[in-house]
Structure 1
Amino acid sequence: MARTPHLLAAGLAATLTATGVLHLVRPRVFEGLIPAVLGSPRAWVLGSGVAELACAAAVAVPATRRVGGVATAALFVAVFPGNVKMALDSHPGARSWARKPAVAWGRLPVQIPLVAWAWQVARRA
């Protein structure tokens, strides 16, 4: 049972690393999530990728795990409006997998367990 907090943190760090790298390597996939009023979508996407990598590093290190978990939960809440925008903009026959309604709408409830996961990592640190 003592290993469970470490496994939860390692899984979260790995997930954040994968998504952070994806934001940096394939930013166009995420640019449609950014409302025009915020300006350059590329800057926001790259910034969120860097934030995910920073959270991954914080969660991976036991000394910073608590703050990393809280920061990750906040990040997951902060990106939720972008996921809502993607769902509202989705349409059948979209070329991008992320723009397909089933995927776009399906992502919304996934944010709840993601926030809970990050919060649990913070609490168990």
Structure 2
Amino acid sequence: MPFPRSGRALQSLSAAAMSALLLASAMKHFRDPLFFRQVVPDYLCLEGRDDGSEPDRRRPFAVMTREEWIALSGLLELAAAAGILVPPARKATATALAAMFTVFLAGHVDALRRAYTPVGTPGQRTVHTLRLPLQAPLILWAWSLRKPASSPVGREPGAWA
């Protein structure tokens, strides 16, 4: 006999797994921010000059330091880890997550580009070559959580059992 709410149970399990992944990543943002440093594009970062003077404000998209971007993305992942578990908020959270993972592609592409310059190391090349393609399944997974759980076969949503 099939479980009467197997579609919902599977979606809830998928949302819980996504939440656990996001929570682990958010914690890593604060415990090991250096891990994320290379995936924040330079053009987003206010960085001080080598002489310690004011940050260079010539970068048009630079509104925060690299460390602030890392902390903000960790906070966003933490909020998403909670939001994805709440069924009424799941569609909005999943949509925002898919958008966030898509935006993160820019950082991964930039990190991969820099890894293959003369200053890049073989380790960076390996890490960023593997890290970039992982974004596609994350985007698709988040997008899949936008769909409402399917009803059991033979019953319409809202019908009496």
TM-score greater than 0.5 by the shorter chain: yes
| Count of matched residue positions in the alignment of Structure 1 and Structure 2 | 120
1:117 corresponding residue in structure 2: 141
Q: Contact 2:26/2:75 (CA < 8 Å) preserved in 1?
A: yes
The aligned residue for residue 111 of structure 2 is 86
Q: Once superposed, what is the RMSD of the aligned Cα atoms?
A: 1.4
Q: Which has the larger radius of gyration?
A: 2
- Residues 41, 111 of structure 2: 8 Å contact kept: no
Ranges in structure 2 where 5+ consecutive residues have no aligned partner: 1-5, 47-64, 150-161
Shift in Å, 1:89: 2.0
Check the 8 A contact 1:55/1:68 in 2, yes or no.
yes
% identical equivalent positions: 32
AA aligned opposite 2:136: I
TM-score by length of 1: 0.88
Runs of 4 or more consecutive aligned structure 1 residues displaced over 4 Å after TM superposition: none
Measure, in 1, the Cα distance between the counterparts of 2:41 and 2:134: 21
Amino acid at match of 1:12: M
Structure showing the higher helix proportion among its residues: 1
| 1:5 equivalent in alignment to 2:30 | no
Check if 1:45 corresponds to 2:51.
no
In the superposition, the TM-score normalised over structure 2's length comes to: 0.69
Unaligned runs of 5+ in 1: none
